[in-house]
Structure 1
Amino acid sequence: MDKQIVCINWGTRYGAPYINRLYRMVCANTTPPFRFVAFTDTRDGVDPGVECFDLPEMPGFMPERTIGQWPKSRLWAAELADLKGPFLFLDLDVAITGSLDPFFEFGAPQDVVLARNVAKPLNRLGQTSIYRMPVGALASLQDVFAADPQGVADKYRFEQHFVTKNAPNGIKFWPTGWVRHFRIECIPTFPLNYFKDTRPPKGTRVVIFAGSLNPPDAIKGQYNDAVPHLSPKQHILRALRSKHKLRAMRQYFRPANWVARIWDQAEGN
């Protein structure tokens, strides 16, 4: 199976620094030859090793009042630049901790393979921070979405739920342990989060940062800007003043120095 890695960038949240960092992580963890392709609305500052293409057309319109990443539906098109066959998609804000080669060897070329959504383990839902599929495998879903973007988004909320439930030939999941969710699987459980460092479990290849907690937050040791990192004592005092005390207590974790090391290496620092 040819190795084609794809990412997508729109708006101002990520841009060239994230594209370049992901590219360098891929280079460090993938046996050549491979293609690294970015569909992006900006090429300024992007590493010359990245093949840049304009964003595919948005099917229908961008839904409102939804929290899913529906612009990813651009990649469901029947044709995608000059790509042919399977490609591996990666979100721009992942941390790669092991070889990506097995992601190209797992299953059959025609499979649609997603990460498991560990936030809802009993619902058998997929997570699209890292997935593999052949070009055009979800073209029929793009047509359904384009016909009623708001209706689809209101029903499924997340584009990954829509894919999970409606992929024409079903989906498969990556083997357990390859992909880990930082907030759920890398932060020690309460009360150990106050005494032990975060870490990816043994065998992890990619760490995803679903939700509002992203790698810069992980490096700082904070859930988000609204919950900045404090000393354990200060965090506990703040939690005791909150409405949801136990949940707030669980939101403490130490700065993730291993994420900082991965990102520093990908930036050449």
Structure 2
Amino acid sequence: MTSRRGVVNPGGRAKSGAMHKQFLAIRWGRKYGPEYLNRLYGMVARHTTPPFDFWCLTDDPVGTRPEVKCLPLPDLGCEPPKNTLGKWGKSRLWRPDLGGPTGPVLFLDLDVVVTGSMDGFFEVGSPDDVILARSPTNPFEKLGQTSIYRYPVGKLAPLREMFLADPQGIADRYRFEQRFVSRHAPGGISFWPKGWVAHYKRHCIPTFPMNYIRTPHLPKETRVVIFPGPLNPPDAIAGRYRDTVPERPPLDHIAAGFRGERREGLLSHLRHYTLPAPWVAEHWRE
């Protein structure tokens, strides 16, 4: 069940009993190799009480561990939107039939890091709910993040129809596919219990100037860490804010900013620094 504010009650359970645990990922192109998928499965397996199924829609199953049930990547159905920040290829998840899983599925981005029990993600709310992580970037907007969200297969089919009617227009208007889901999911959306999902950049990296002397931390109640934006797990492990920024000791990074060796304003350059996070490496493995 959900509260008036749309946040899932941690004690709420599926009305028809325990849900079958089904995880879903999607992988296309060459940005993320099979090692991302294999690590994701390994983390899920360590933190989920069996039985469970793990599905992946992909255009290249080569190198994927056998426990992952690979399905052919569905056609997008349109020309991909251009010059947009959103990952509109994820609209494939909204198809009425994915060729394998049915009922509620828990979708995970390939670059998340699982740090705690996943069982609860199948124990809150109703099987018919669409439950997202809350975006901390827009605190005054009821905006979810689709880095980890649960939905029944087929329920978001109306979104696919709307998107295919004007793909570029929808992408231009909403920018991010998660905003489109947040606005138009049939029956509305709700959010995971507070603390379950941590945004690495917002919740783990200390704020300036403490980011130069304190390592990123893992919040106590966190079960999944998501990596929207320029960071992903290898960057967090190496201690770089994005893969195009060289790894520097703190004083070198500060000095580079004052020398003008930066791609942004001085304050942003100083804020966009992080020390390595060893705990990410401990969790992000097969």
- Fold agreement, TM-score > 0.5: yes
Map of 1:77 onto structure 2: 95
Alignment of 1:188-203 (within 5 A): 188-203=206-221
How many residue pairs are counted as aligned between the two chains? 265
| Aligned with 1:256 (options 248, 253, 277) | 277
Q: Deviations over 1:56-90 (max 9, x none)?
A: 22132211111100010001011111211100000
Counterpart residue identity of residue 275, structure 2:
R
Map of 1:171 onto structure 2: 189
Alignment pair present for 1:143 and 2:164: no
Alignment pair present for 1:236 and 2:236: no
Alignment pair present for 1:207 and 2:207: no
Q: Matches of 2:51 and 2:241 in 1, distance apart?
A: 37
Q: Deviations over 1:102-153 (max 9, x none)?
A: 0000111100001011111111111000000000111001001011100100
Counterpart residue identity of residue 153, structure 2:
V
Map of 1:34 onto structure 2: 52
Q: Matches of 1:65 and 1:37 in 2, distance apart?
A: 30
Q: Secondary structure at the match of 1:123?
A: coil
Return 5+ residue gaps in structure 2 as ranges. 1-18
Give the CA deviation at 1:240.
2.0
Q: Matches of 2:33 and 2:237 in 1, distance apart?
A: 19
Q: TM-score, normalised by structure 2?
A: 0.90
| Aligned with 2:140 (options 122, 126, 129) | 122
Alignment pair present for 1:21 and 2:42: no
Alignment pair present for 1:93 and 2:111: yes
| Aligned with 2:266 (options 213, 229, 245) | 245
Q: Secondary structure at the match of 2:97?
A: coil
- The structure with the greater share of residues assigned to helix is 1
Q: Matches of 2:239 and 2:274 in 1, distance apart?
A: 6
Give the CA deviation at 1:182.
0.5
Give the CA deviation at 1:49.
0.6
Map of 2:82 onto structure 1: 64
Q: Matches of 1:126 and 1:33 in 2, distance apart?
A: 28
CA contact (8 A) 1:60 1:147 kept: no
| Aligned with 1:50 (options 68, 92, 97) | 68
Map of 1:180 onto structure 2: 198
CA contact (8 A) 1:90 1:129 kept: yes
Q: Matches of 1:205 and 1:225 in 2, distance apart?
A: 25
Q: Matches of 2:184 and 2:45 in 1, distance apart?
A: 33
Q: Secondary structure at the match of 2:65?
A: coil
Counterpart residue identity of residue 262, structure 1:
H
CA contact (8 A) 2:20 2:52 kept: yes
Give the CA deviation at 1:241.
3.1
Counterpart residue identity of residue 283, structure 2:
I
Q: Secondary structure at the match of 1:143?
A: helix
Q: Matches of 1:78 and 1:61 in 2, distance apart?
A: 20
Q: Deviations over 1:37-57 (max 9, x none)?
A: 011001111101110100122
Q: Matches of 1:73 and 1:226 in 2, distance apart?
A: 28
